Amino acid sequence: MRLSATLFALLFLASSSVLGIGEDDIGFAAASSIPPHVMAAFAKSPLSDKYAFSTHINPFYVQGDFNGDGKLDTAILIKQKATGKSGIAIVHGGSTTVRVLGAGRAFSNGGDNFSWLDAWYSYAKGKVGQGAEEGVPPKLIGDAIMVIKTESASALVYWAGTQYRWYQQGD
Protein backbone atom coordinates (compact mmCIF):
# COMPACT_ATOMS: atom_id res chain seq x y z
CA MET A 1 0.00 0.00 0.00
CA ARG A 2 2.79 2.41 0.90
CA LEU A 3 4.57 1.69 -2.39
CA SER A 4 1.45 2.77 -4.33
CA ALA A 5 1.32 6.12 -2.55
CA THR A 6 5.04 6.66 -3.15
CA LEU A 7 4.71 5.72 -6.83
CA PHE A 8 1.72 8.06 -7.18
CA ALA A 9 3.67 10.95 -5.63
CA LEU A 10 6.68 10.32 -7.88
CA LEU A 11 4.49 10.22 -11.00
CA PHE A 12 2.79 13.45 -9.99
CA LEU A 13 6.11 15.22 -9.39
CA ALA A 14 7.51 13.95 -12.70
CA SER A 15 4.48 15.13 -14.67
CA SER A 16 4.52 18.44 -12.80
CA SER A 17 8.12 19.18 -13.77
CA VAL A 18 7.48 18.30 -17.41
CA LEU A 19 4.39 20.49 -17.53
CA GLY A 20 5.87 23.33 -15.61
CA ILE A 21 2.97 22.95 -13.20
CA GLY A 22 3.16 25.17 -10.19
CA GLU A 23 0.91 28.06 -9.26
CA ASP A 24 -1.11 27.52 -12.44
CA ASP A 25 -1.69 23.82 -11.73
CA ILE A 26 -4.11 22.28 -14.24
CA GLY A 27 -4.66 19.36 -11.90
CA PHE A 28 -3.44 15.81 -11.95
CA ALA A 29 -6.46 14.40 -13.83
CA ALA A 30 -6.15 16.98 -16.63
CA ALA A 31 -2.38 16.47 -16.83
CA SER A 32 -2.92 12.71 -17.02
CA SER A 33 -5.24 13.25 -20.01
CA ILE A 34 -2.60 14.92 -22.18
CA PRO A 35 -1.44 12.63 -25.02
CA PRO A 36 2.06 11.18 -24.50
CA HIS A 37 3.50 12.68 -27.72
CA VAL A 38 2.49 16.16 -26.51
CA MET A 39 4.11 15.57 -23.12
CA ALA A 40 7.28 14.32 -24.85
CA ALA A 41 7.39 17.34 -27.19
CA PHE A 42 7.09 19.79 -24.28
CA ALA A 43 9.65 17.84 -22.24
CA LYS A 44 12.18 18.21 -25.09
CA SER A 45 11.34 21.85 -25.76
CA PRO A 46 12.59 24.97 -23.97
CA LEU A 47 8.99 26.22 -24.27
CA SER A 48 8.01 24.45 -21.05
CA ASP A 49 9.89 27.21 -19.19
CA LYS A 50 7.73 29.90 -20.84
CA TYR A 51 4.31 28.24 -21.15
CA ALA A 52 1.92 26.21 -19.03
CA PHE A 53 -1.04 24.15 -20.16
CA SER A 54 -4.44 25.74 -19.60
CA THR A 55 -7.89 24.27 -19.04
CA HIS A 56 -9.87 27.50 -19.30
CA ILE A 57 -12.27 25.90 -21.80
CA ASN A 58 -13.45 22.34 -22.28
CA PRO A 59 -12.06 20.50 -24.15
CA PHE A 60 -8.63 21.92 -23.42
CA TYR A 61 -7.15 20.10 -26.41
CA VAL A 62 -8.42 18.98 -29.81
CA GLN A 63 -6.96 16.49 -32.25
CA GLY A 64 -6.99 16.05 -36.00
CA ASP A 65 -4.63 15.58 -38.92
CA PHE A 66 -3.89 19.30 -39.15
CA ASN A 67 -0.91 19.07 -41.51
CA GLY A 68 -2.40 16.34 -43.73
CA ASP A 69 0.37 13.77 -43.24
CA GLY A 70 -1.92 10.99 -42.00
CA LYS A 71 -0.75 11.28 -38.37
CA LEU A 72 -2.82 12.52 -35.45
CA ASP A 73 -1.85 16.03 -34.34
CA THR A 74 -2.81 17.80 -31.11
CA ALA A 75 -3.69 21.43 -30.44
CA ILE A 76 -3.67 22.28 -26.74
CA LEU A 77 -4.49 25.44 -24.82
CA ILE A 78 -1.54 27.17 -23.18
CA LYS A 79 -0.74 30.40 -21.42
CA GLN A 80 2.43 32.37 -21.22
CA LYS A 81 3.74 32.17 -17.65
CA ALA A 82 5.14 35.71 -17.55
CA THR A 83 2.03 37.51 -18.82
CA GLY A 84 -0.88 35.07 -18.52
CA LYS A 85 -1.64 35.55 -22.24
CA SER A 86 -3.54 32.62 -23.74
CA GLY A 87 -2.82 30.74 -26.92
CA ILE A 88 -2.64 27.40 -28.68
CA ALA A 89 0.31 25.03 -28.96
CA ILE A 90 0.23 22.54 -31.83
CA VAL A 91 2.27 19.34 -31.90
CA HIS A 92 2.26 17.31 -35.11
CA GLY A 93 2.19 13.53 -34.67
CA GLY A 94 5.68 12.06 -35.06
CA SER A 95 7.32 15.43 -34.31
CA THR A 96 8.66 17.09 -31.19
CA THR A 97 8.32 20.60 -32.62
CA VAL A 98 5.83 22.78 -30.75
CA ARG A 99 4.19 25.60 -32.70
CA VAL A 100 2.75 28.44 -30.62
CA LEU A 101 -0.08 30.68 -31.80
CA GLY A 102 -0.96 33.60 -29.53
CA ALA A 103 0.25 33.34 -25.91
CA GLY A 104 2.43 36.41 -26.35
CA ARG A 105 3.13 35.80 -30.06
CA ALA A 106 1.04 37.72 -32.58
CA PHE A 107 -0.99 35.48 -34.88
CA SER A 108 -3.12 37.20 -37.52
CA ASN A 109 -6.52 38.48 -36.33
CA GLY A 110 -6.23 36.35 -33.20
CA GLY A 111 -3.58 38.69 -31.84
CA ASP A 112 -1.09 37.68 -29.19
CA ASN A 113 -3.68 36.79 -26.56
CA PHE A 114 -6.46 34.28 -27.22
CA SER A 115 -8.25 35.07 -23.95
CA TRP A 116 -11.30 35.80 -26.15
CA LEU A 117 -11.44 32.13 -27.23
CA ASP A 118 -14.39 30.42 -25.54
CA ALA A 119 -15.09 27.50 -27.91
CA TRP A 120 -13.16 25.48 -30.47
CA TYR A 121 -13.18 22.21 -32.33
CA SER A 122 -11.40 20.19 -35.00
CA TYR A 123 -12.86 21.09 -38.42
CA ALA A 124 -12.68 18.12 -40.80
CA LYS A 125 -10.76 18.53 -44.05
CA GLY A 126 -13.13 19.48 -46.82
CA LYS A 127 -14.57 22.40 -48.67
CA VAL A 128 -14.45 25.71 -46.81
CA GLY A 129 -17.39 28.01 -47.43
CA GLN A 130 -16.97 31.70 -48.09
CA GLY A 131 -16.18 33.46 -44.85
CA ALA A 132 -16.00 37.09 -43.86
CA GLU A 133 -12.79 37.60 -45.84
CA GLU A 134 -12.79 38.62 -49.47
CA GLY A 135 -11.16 36.27 -51.93
CA VAL A 136 -11.19 32.54 -52.40
CA PRO A 137 -11.49 30.39 -49.24
CA PRO A 138 -8.47 28.20 -48.51
CA LYS A 139 -8.17 24.66 -49.80
CA LEU A 140 -7.37 22.59 -46.73
CA ILE A 141 -4.34 20.27 -46.75
CA GLY A 142 -5.58 18.62 -43.57
CA ASP A 143 -8.10 19.23 -40.84
CA ALA A 144 -8.33 22.76 -39.42
CA ILE A 145 -9.08 24.26 -36.03
CA MET A 146 -12.26 26.31 -35.70
CA VAL A 147 -11.66 29.01 -33.09
CA ILE A 148 -14.74 30.79 -31.78
CA LYS A 149 -15.74 33.77 -29.71
CA THR A 150 -19.38 32.77 -29.22
CA GLU A 151 -21.99 35.26 -30.36
CA SER A 152 -19.22 37.29 -32.00
CA ALA A 153 -16.75 35.78 -34.48
CA SER A 154 -15.01 32.64 -35.67
CA ALA A 155 -12.05 31.66 -37.81
CA LEU A 156 -10.30 28.64 -39.22
CA VAL A 157 -6.69 28.05 -38.28
CA TYR A 158 -5.22 25.83 -40.98
CA TRP A 159 -1.88 24.46 -42.18
CA ALA A 160 -0.66 26.07 -45.41
CA GLY A 161 2.30 23.75 -46.00
CA THR A 162 4.97 25.55 -43.94
CA GLN A 163 3.01 27.50 -41.34
CA TYR A 164 -0.42 28.01 -39.83
CA ARG A 165 -2.73 30.62 -41.30
CA TRP A 166 -5.98 32.31 -40.31
CA TYR A 167 -9.21 32.47 -42.34
CA GLN A 168 -11.96 34.64 -40.85
CA GLN A 169 -15.28 32.77 -40.98
CA GLY A 170 -17.68 35.17 -39.30
CA ASP A 171 -17.86 38.48 -37.51
Distance of CA 90 to the CA centre of its chain: 5
Spacing of C-alpha 130 from chain mean position: 25
Q: Is 19 exposed, middle or buried (0-12, 13-18, 19+ CB in 10 A)?
A: buried
Residues 28, 12 contacting (CB under 8 angstroms): yes
- Among 113, 68, 82, 30, CA closest to 39: 30
Distance, CA of 124 to CA of 155 (rounded, Å) = 14
- pLDDT, tens only, 55-94: 999 999 999 999 999 999 999 999 999 999 999 999 999 9
Grouped pLDDT means (10 residues each) for the chain, 171 residues = 41 43 64 91 89 94 98 97 96 94 96 97 95 91 97 95 94 76
The reported pTM is 0.85
Among 118, 3, 6, which Cα is nearest to 54's? 118
Bridge partners (DSSP) of residue 105 are: 102
pLDDT for 11 = 42
